[in-house]
Structure 1
């Protein structure tokens, strides 16, 4: 009974639907196909599982690893320090941010100097890092997905009126028919982001790990939310705008791992232009302008989901602006005659050169 009441409260038609519509009317409509909400909690997980299997058991061993070897990417690993149960527990608790007081206590317990404890923790952290080969394979997977999806998007949307005139996202809303190709476009995107969210939990931390995780979760929520409200048309435009900019940056990272610095610099310029034009240009000017200023005029209604949806889209823009700040830091470094470094993928842990030399590789 409590569960039914909670479900009725959460799915309140006065919150989710425009005035005059009910869930029963939309779901059982005969003249158009309304999205079924349970689709986003079933098929994407199957697709995510297929993606994980394809990535780790097919593409990585049989395609990405041989490609990395051909390009000279090494699978070098830092030798782990001698086993020490107490320090291992300390490392697992604090990772690379062990408080000074804890280091002091550990040194006293082990009968070591604080410097020896710090060196052990540093070597342990370095041995846990993802190898260049692992990074290359992960990047290759993302490049392959985004390239296929960037082709898939325009193919799906080319004959859709809202691709050419965004106001068609609001004309006749919410009685929009869901085409089969658009259904697949949504399910594949959700499956990929679930795949990335699941694998994110056991990957090595990066400077933007928290931002990236929030981005994945927000994207999943936003896609699922737009599906439930049949904001699918505007959702497809958000997806098609967002995916293309990542490709040159991912390829640039691969070039860095292969030692092609000049290629990386050139691709970074392409990435910067695409990022600024899509994430901070087309997205707010084309999409947010329509959702904020055109939608309510065409629909001539105001209801809670409209504000929630716009809030999510605005949150996505704020994350983009945060990443843009990191990217522009790279530009400043380059203008200062420093080598381009990918701030978005750097690890949160860095060791000094002397300690790097002391950690012998296998």
Structure 2
């Protein structure tokens, strides 16, 4: 480690040619982002977000509103206690290996068919209630609405919003302003809080992709902060966060039984998603970082390529989610019903949902 650290923090890895950490620290013409801020303020904000979410919004606003809208807070009764089957469920869920299921059923004194029914009942009893999901979606709706407005307020008077070339002109002499500082810290705090909550929130079909997205976003924000890519980073944040507002509204309408409102919100979500995640992000932002930044600012150093690699990985996640979304749209036209919105249902019900979709298409045909 003693030999790795000097290489890892060598200016040639992180900074354009001719710049050193000392020269940045001695500059008085601009304020370079302070590296130490990353290890203090985001974690404090994450704790604040968790407190606000569970002890204020959920308790005093979201749960009462959900009950008022008729969102249920009940789950099926758990099956009778059966230790061998419980051990199988803990390790394999509802689809264990057949031989293992048969052995557990014999040990537990039930038939294989009864054991399969026990596993399904146990999975149903472990699901988050609709009201719990409503509160989770409500929190995300509140955050994304606030952050979208904050992004427009912060970036409206910034030159790089209207001419993306300005994100790299005169790089790295870009001052960290107070509003950009808060814009970054709030986002980092939110994604740290979501990583913590991920491990005890209800499990979604795309839970793994979502966690990868959160970690990748934190890594990108941290990397862009250290390298002072905050201008391009702020544009990435602005393009990404606005799409989640109609998505959360569509899901909440579904839980409240308002399909008449769910479909319009889903349509708005689809338009914004395709415009931002598969339009502005790859053809405006990513195109600039890949093909123009090195021309504007002579960026030929390792972190520039690492940053672009992470941006490309984020695009791959977008493509995967776009496939899932378009699959939902196809099912909508095939069955005249949206089964879920971007895989928000529980992972334990994933296989049952897929079977229902296939059966519905067959009936339609």
Normalised by the length of structure 2, the TM-score is 0.93
Whole-Å Cα distance in 1 between the matches of residues 246 and 111 of structure 2? Answer: 47
Deviates more, 1:139-148 or 1:13-22: 13-22
Query: What is the CA deviation profile of residues 334-356 of structure 1, one whole-angstrom value per residue up to 9, with x for unaligned ones?
Result: 22143012242122323869xxx
- Per the alignment, residue 174 of structure 1 pairs with 172
| Larger CA deviation: 72-81 vs 343-352 | 343-352
- 1:90-133 CA-partner distances (Å, limit 9, x unpaired): 21112233221211110111121011111111111111101000
Comparing 119-128 with 235-244, which one deviates more in the overlay? 119-128
Specify which of 127, 147, 153 is matched with residue 149 of structure 1.
147
Partner of residue 243, structure 1: 241
State the secondary structure of the residue aligned to 2:75: coil
For residues 215 and 95 of structure 2, what CA distance do their matches in structure 1 show?
Answer: 26
Output aligned runs, 1:96-175, within 5 Å.
96-175=94-173
User: Matched residue pairs, number?
Assistant: 351
CA distance in 2, matches of 1:288, 1:317: 9
Which of 289, 292, 301 pairs up with 2:290?
292
Distance 2:36 2:94 in 1: 41
CA distance in 2, matches of 1:139, 1:13: 43
Separation (CA, whole Å) in 2 of partners of 1:215 and 1:99: 31
Map Cα deviations across residues 313-362 of structure 1 (whole Å, 9 max, x no partner): 11111100100000001111122143012242122323869xxxxxxxxx
Give the 3 Å change call, closer, same or farther, for CA 337–161 of structure 1 in structure 2. same
C-alpha displacement at 1:225, in angstroms? 0.6
Displacement of 1:67 after TM fit?
0.4
1:346 matched to which residue of 2?
A: 345
Quick check: 1:27–1:36 contact (8 Å CA) kept in 2? no
Contact 2:331 2:338 in 1 (8 A): yes
CA distance in 1, matches of 2:57, 2:346: 25
Query: How many angstroms apart in 2 are the aligned matches of 1:273 and 1:311?
Result: 27
Q: 1:282-335: per-residue Cα shift (whole Å, max 9, x none)?
A: 111110111111101111241111111111111111100100000001111122
Say whether the 8 Å CA contact 1:279–1:320 is kept in structure 2: yes
Q: Deviations over 1:40-80 (max 9, x none)?
A: 12111110000001100111010000000111111011111
Instruction: Give the number of the structure with larger relative contact order, counting CA–CA contacts within 8 Å between residues 6 or more apart.
Output: 1
SS at match of 2:3: helix
Where in structure 1 are there 5+ consecutive unaligned residues? 354-362
What is the aligned partner in structure 1 of residue 35 from structure 2?
Answer: 37
User: Which residue is 2:360 aligned to?
Assistant: none
> What's the CA shift for 1:207?
1.4
Q: TM-score, normalised by structure 1?
A: 0.94
Where does the alignment leave 5 or more consecutive residues of structure 2 unmatched? 354-365
Distance 1:35 1:107 in 2: 60
**After the TM superposition, which of the residue ranges 122-131 and 136-145 deviates more from structure 2?**
122-131
Choose which of 48, 55, 59 in structure 1 pairs with 2:46. 48
1:1-362 to 2 correspondences below 5 Å:
2=1, 4-342=2-340, 343-350=342-349
Aligned counterpart, 1:356: none
